[in-house]
Amino acid sequence: MRTFDTKAFFDASQFEDMFFAPARAYTSLTVDFTEKLAHAQLDAVKSYTDTGLAQVRAFTAVKDAEGLRSYMEGQQKVAKELTERLKGDAEKVVALQQDFVSESQKLTESNVKKATDTATKAANAK
């Protein structure tokens, strides 16, 4: 029985350069993006939770009509702050996604160039 000689079909370093290195680079980029996105989401959840709990505490402190009026007036300020926070959070996520897309494109272009160069060298070597 014959053994299969992989060296006859490809060079291991070339296989590494063409397949594994790009896969590792893309995986690393994806993990970094996921980490940044998760942190942004956790920050947002904490902020919204803190705001909600502060509003519940403020409401439980209402004891009379004047306190209720004051609480209701404060709701406009809270609504404005939440709207600004939502806008900022959305902008942060969009910026993260744009960075990810940009870095992915750079990585893809680099890998296509490497593959093209390798194919050209192989074709010229024949």
Mean pLDDT of 45-63: 95
Domain-by-domain residue ranges, the chain? 30-115
Secondary structure (DSSP) of 13-76: HHHIIIIIHHHHHHHHHHHHHHHHHHHHHHHHHHHHHHHHHHHHHHHHT--SHHHHHHHHHHHH
Residues 106 and 58: their CA atoms lie apart, in Å, by 50
Find which of 16-30, 56-70, 105-119 is predicted with most confidence, using mean pLDDT: 56-70
Mean pLDDT of 25-49: 96
